[in-house]
């Protein structure tokens, strides 16, 4: 997290004047973004010690900041210990969304003031699933870093559902997903489509055949992403359009990681569909199967929350990812970009 000056304060005003000592009946409270950022770090890290490392503070300093925040809020407890983790109490859960919003607001205000000097700065958290996005997105983020070196970008890799939750929670700013999102409050921009190649181990009999009919897949074991993963849905939908239903498939292994999937194919566990950008080179124990018909395609989308305004750094990243420079990078990687 990018430090905000300790003097940056968020005021929650009320009609009555504040008492001299905070209590449960406090009608007006002054909260420091520094305290709130410490609170959020403990929530995310799960312990005071891990939060201290993240914030480059000592563990006693983190504890002191949490105690000070608890006193400001009327001597409530914000955390309780469950096993080895510190988890928010009911009061902590109530504070969490407001803390995120207030810290984001303070950071946005600081970025806007700095932007008056002509420099784009700030922190943007981008999410993608454990698929070919892990290989494609860093190339585009490198291009962004060259243009905006003062912006800190964090890449989080997780499942699509967790990514979308993070977007609604304002923990993530942008998502790079292989599936269009139609949920209310989200907008998706198509930036390209990627062919999927059917691969087999180097000694597999199908590598010697030409124009393998899709129906042949009923007779062979497959290694697929887990049920519910966007790539799994893309594969099943593509096969269904070719006359092969999901119930016809013999799934020998499910894995979220494309590295694990290709390793499983190399070990002879089954066939797999691999995005073109992740296709291993020849001589690496794998080979492409010549599957008849047009290849199944995986689409790519930029997803963000619909908001009236977003931080300047996030807008700059969105514009670059959706712009011609990154489209050229995608095209070079074998992605079919829309006109």
Q: For 286-337, how does the pLDDT look when each residue is reduced to its tens digit (9 = 90+)?
A: 889 999 988 899 898 999 988 767 788 888 999 999 998 888 888 887 788 8
Residues of the chain with CATH 1.10.10.10: 9-114
Asked if residue 113 has pLDDT above 80, the reply is: no
Q: What's 9-114's CATH class?
A: mainly alpha
Q: Which residues of 111-150 are buried (b: 16+ CB within 10 A; e: fewer)?
A: beeeeeeeebbbbbbbbbbbbbbbebbeebbebbeeebee
User: What confidence score (pLDDT) does residue 25 get?
Assistant: 41
Residues of the chain with CATH 3.40.190.290: 119-339
- Helices then strands, counting H and E runs in the chain, come out as 10, 13
pTM: 0.61
Contact (CB, 8 A) for 120 and 313: yes
Give first-to-last CA distance, the chain, whole Å: 37
User: What confidence score (pLDDT) does residue 57 get?
Assistant: 87
Q: Which CATH architecture has domain 119-339?
A: 3-Layer(aba) Sandwich (3.40)
pLDDT band at 245 (very low <50, low <70, confident <90, very high): very high
Asked if residue 9 has pLDDT above 80, the reply is: no
Integer Cα distance of 216 and 249 in angstroms:
10
Q: Tokens 């008056």 sit at which residue? A: 116
Integer Cα distance of 95 and 67 in angstroms:
14
Asked if residue 80 has pLDDT above 70, the reply is: yes
Render pLDDT for 29-56 as a digit per residue (tens, 0 to 9). 578 888 998 999 999 889 999 898 888 8
Render pLDDT for 184-230 as a digit per residue (tens, 0 to 9). 889 999 998 989 999 999 889 999 888 899 999 999 999 999 998 88
């Amino acid at each position: 997290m990018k430090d905000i000056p300790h003097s940056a304060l968020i005021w929650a005003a009320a009609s009555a004047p504040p008492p001299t000592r905070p209590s449960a009946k406090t009608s007006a409270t002054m909260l420091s973004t520094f305290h709130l950022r410490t609170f959020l770090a403990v929530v995310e890290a799960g312990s005071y010690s891990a939060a201290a490392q993240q914030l480059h503070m000592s563990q006693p300093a983190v504890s002191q900041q949490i105690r000070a925040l608890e006193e400001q809020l009327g001597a409530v407890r914000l955390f309780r210990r469950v096993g080895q983790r510190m988890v928010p109490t009911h009061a902590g859960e109530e504070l969490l969304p407001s803390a995120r919003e207030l810290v984001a607001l303070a950071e946005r205000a600081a970025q806007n003031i700095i932007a008056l000097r002509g420099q784009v700065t700030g922190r943007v958290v981008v999410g993608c699933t454990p698929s070919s996005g892990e290989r494609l997105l860093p190339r585009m983020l490198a291009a962004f870093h060259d243009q905006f070196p003062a912006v800190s970008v964090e890449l989080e890799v997780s499942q699509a559902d967790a990514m979308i939750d993070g977007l609604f929670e304002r923990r993530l700013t942008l998502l790079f997903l292989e599936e269009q999102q139609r949920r209310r409050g989200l907008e998706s921009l198509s930036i390209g489509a990627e062919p999927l190649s059917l691969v087999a181990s180097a000694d597999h009999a199908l590598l010697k055949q030409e124009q393998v009919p899709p129906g042949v897949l009923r007779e062979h074991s497959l290694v697929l992403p887990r049920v519910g993963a966007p790539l799994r849905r893309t594969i099943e939908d593509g096969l269904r359009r070719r006359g092969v239903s999901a119930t016809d498939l013999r799934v020998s292994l499910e894995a979220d990681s494309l590295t694990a999937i290709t390793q499983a194919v190399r070990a002879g566990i089954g066939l797999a569909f691999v995005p073109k950008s992740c296709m291993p080179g020849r001589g690496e124990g794998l080979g492409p199967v010549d599957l008849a018909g047009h290849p199944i395609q995986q689409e790519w989308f930029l997803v963000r929350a619909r908001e009236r305004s977003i931080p300047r750094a996030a807008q700059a990243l969105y514009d670059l990812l959706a712009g011609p420079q990154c489209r050229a990078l995608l095209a070079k990687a074998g992605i079919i970009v829309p006109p």
